[in-house]
Amino acid sequence: MPIIGHPRAIPALDHLPRPLYARAESLGAGSWTTRHQHDWVQFSYAISGVLGVYTRDGSYFAPPQWGVWIPADAEHEVVTSMQAEMRSLYVRRDACPWAPEQCRVLEVTPLARELIKQFCLFPADYPEDDSAEARLVAVLLDQLRTLPEVGFSLPLPRHPGLLALCNGLIAAPDQPQTLQQWARELGCSEKTLMRLFQRETGLSFRNWRQRMRLLSSLALLEAGENVTEAALGCGYDSTSAYIAAFKQLFGATPGELKL
């Protein structure tokens, strides 16, 4: 992940004062954190802007009203391409034994959104026991557990040659090289590269590159580019093909997603 923009401070917390802790931030364009990890689970979602969460195993993108679930102890960095309003929840392990062990991108429902908004107004040491605050926390955690997952993730391979290939494509999603050309660069056959790519990422090269291009277009749309500009900028020759692929992955057209 290329480092651009401005570094963002990471909270100096050794432990969480309560089972749930909130952090509300207004982030400038191109803000980023250094790669780090912590002993609690994190859920970050964008009220506005697009969040990118980068881990060893993949990249995860959250446009407005979607969020990224980050497991405890997972090394990660968070990047915003443009200005963003972010809300993060830190959850103690014992408060969410059901938490997934891998990053997930989740849709924030209207109810969860309002609960997070209200919880962000609580003090860090909110009353526990049978308080109104504790009851809201219980409902919020229950809602987080059931948020629907969406496919805004991009798995990355561990194989050094493939990883370099993928990072090159992410840096320039509109480059036109074919699988045959990449196989030649890596010194293997096209069939070998196809099998290796499928084994390492769980996706075919074609499907991986399509997903990568569509995910990279989110930042272009959020920056104010029109649909045609976003399509060309992420490597599509046809606006209609881009819109169709976008709707298939995200369940909405670029205009309907309202970045």
Please state, in angstroms and rounded to a whole number, the distance separating the CA atoms of residues 139 and 208: 37
15: which 2 tokens? 């432990």
Q: Domains plus CATH for the chain? A: 6-150 (2.60.120.280), 156-257 (1.10.10.60)
Q: 3-state DSSP call for residue 171?
A: helix
> Using one digit for the tens of pLDDT, what is the confidence trace for 17-67?
999 999 998 887 778 888 889 999 999 998 888 888 999 888 898 888 899
> Using one digit for the tens of pLDDT, what is the confidence trace for 136-187?
999 999 999 999 988 788 999 989 989 999 988 998 999 988 889 989 988 8
Q: Taking a C-beta distance cutoff of 8 angstroms, is the pair 11, 23 a contact?
A: yes
How many CB atoms are closer than 10 A to CB 3? 10
Residue 251 is predicted with a pLDDT of: 79
> Using one digit for the tens of pLDDT, what is the confidence trace for 20-32?
999 998 887 778 8
Residue 5 is predicted with a pLDDT of: 60
pLDDT band, very low/low/confident/very high, at 14 (cuts 50, 70, 90): confident
Q: 3-state DSSP call for residue 30?
A: coil
Phi first, then psi: what are they for 30, rounded to 5°? 70, 25
Residue 32 is predicted with a pLDDT of: 80
- Please give the order of strands across the beta sheet that includes 76-80: 6-7, 31-32, 76-80, 51-55, 58-62, 153-155
